Amino acid sequence: MSGQLAGQVVFVTGGARGQGRSHAEAAAREGADVVLFDRCQDSAAVAYPLATEADLAQTAELVRAHGREVLALTGDVRDPAEVDSAVAEAVRRFGRIDALIANAGVHGGGSIQDADRGIWDEVLGVNLTGVFQSMRAVAPHMIERGYGRIVATASNQGRMAVPGSVPYVASKWGVVGLVKAAALDLAAFGITVNAVAPGNTSTPMVHNDALYRALRPDLDAPEWKDVEPLLREHHVQPVTLLDAAEITAAVLFLIGPGTPHVTGSVIDVNAGSAARYTA
Ligand SMILES: NC(=O)c1ccc[n+]([C@@H]2O[C@H](COP(=O)([O-])OP(=O)(O)OC[C@H]3O[C@@H](n4cnc5c(N)ncnc54)[C@H](O)[C@@H]3O)[C@@H](O)[C@H]2O)c1
């Protein structure tokens, strides 16, 4: 693809780093101006560091390097006022939002026996309510224009379960349901709503000591080599981590000009996890 988003405006939540950064940079490469929205603050309920303002500034630079404009905003997808005001600011600045990539998310696990209520609230709040708030914020504007592309980031854990991951699995299954319900509601207005379901992807959400310790509680100081075989089991193809660019390719497919009638779908980019689903 080249220049396929020329003149468009793409709004990326969780855009400061990881997959969000990859989506933002690719959108700019394809000719879009980009709105980045990220909390840029750690959470007491999340056991690894979230993005920083420096990360956000770095992503903004990557967008500018493609000759595109960027609006880099801090805010929390759980907070309707902050999301609404970011959307309003984006529309004031650029006059339009063509695509929402509802990508912000946090990882937090725990089995049904021991999942902490604070982690449950945080993970459901960001991963599910945050996607809901983001969709709600852009929908009136997209309806008015009779055009919109919405892509939410689910997970292979939104299509299957893994042990000890009750909050995350529940949040991502919720995203799939939310996407399908919103796709029905917005179908008459030229708006498509889809999800991508990544497998393990090489971002700070995976590369952190907290996840290593959660996966290997039997070890004092687990390292990558100790968790890698467990993560590999999530996939069918013999690969443990995907590059964010692979997820971005699916996102671009869904917000690009060639897919006006793909809606309510989940695109699995997860090294064959999809082959294990019942449908
Ligand atoms: N990395 C993986 O293996 C993997 C696999 C499947 C799905 N996912 C999903 O992909 C998405 C992107 O994650 P990633 O892998 O790039 O991880 P990441 O931690 O690098 O990026 C997540 C981003 O979301 C931001 N964020 C977190 N809470 C926020 C909030 N309340 N408001 C605004 N921004 C917030 C973080 O600051 C960070 O920049 C997430 O929804 C995640 O659940 C990740």
- C-alpha span between 96 and 173 (Å, rounded): 30
CB of 78 within 6 A of ligand 1: the answer is: yes
Model pLDDT, residue 279: 75
Please report the pLDDT score of residue 54 as a whole number. Answer: 98
Below-70 pLDDT ranges, the chain? 1
What integer pLDDT is reported at residue 173 of this predicted model? 98
Please give the tally of structural domains in the chain.
1
Helix (H, G, I), strand (E, B) or coil at 101: strand
Q: Which ligand 1 atom lies nearest to the CA of residue 198?
A: 6
Any domain includes 1: no
Position 65 in a domain: yes
Contacts of 236 (CB under 8 A, 6+ apart): 271, 272, 273, 275, 276
Asked if residue 89 belongs to a domain, the reply is: yes
Q: What distance in Å separates the CA atoms of residue 139 and residue 137, rounded to the nearest whole number?
A: 6
Give CA–CA dist 199/46, Å, rounded: 20
Phi-psi category of residue 119: left, alpha or beta, with phi > 0 → left and psi -120 to 50 → alpha: alpha
Find the 188 Cα to ligand 1 centroid distance in Å.
Answer: 30
pLDDT at res. 2: 74
What pLDDT is stored for residue 272 in this prediction? 96
The answer to the question of residue 3 being in a domain is no
User: Which residue type occupies 64?
Assistant: R
Ligand 1 atom with the shortest distance to the CA of 126: 31
Q: What is the pLDDT of residue 65?
A: 98
User: Which of these, 222, 208, 106, lies nearest to 165 by C-alpha position?
Assistant: 106
Beta bridge partners of 242: 201
CATH number (domain holding residue 121):
3.40.50.720
For 200, the domain range is 9-276
pTM for this one? 0.98
User: Closest ligand 1 atom, CA of 125?
Assistant: 31
pLDDT for the residue 27 = 98
Cα(73)–Cα(56) distance, rounded to whole angstroms? 8
Residue 4 inside a domain? The answer is no
Dist CA 171 CA 33 (whole Å): 30
Residue of 147, 168, 212, 277 marked active site: 168
168 has catalytic annotation: yes
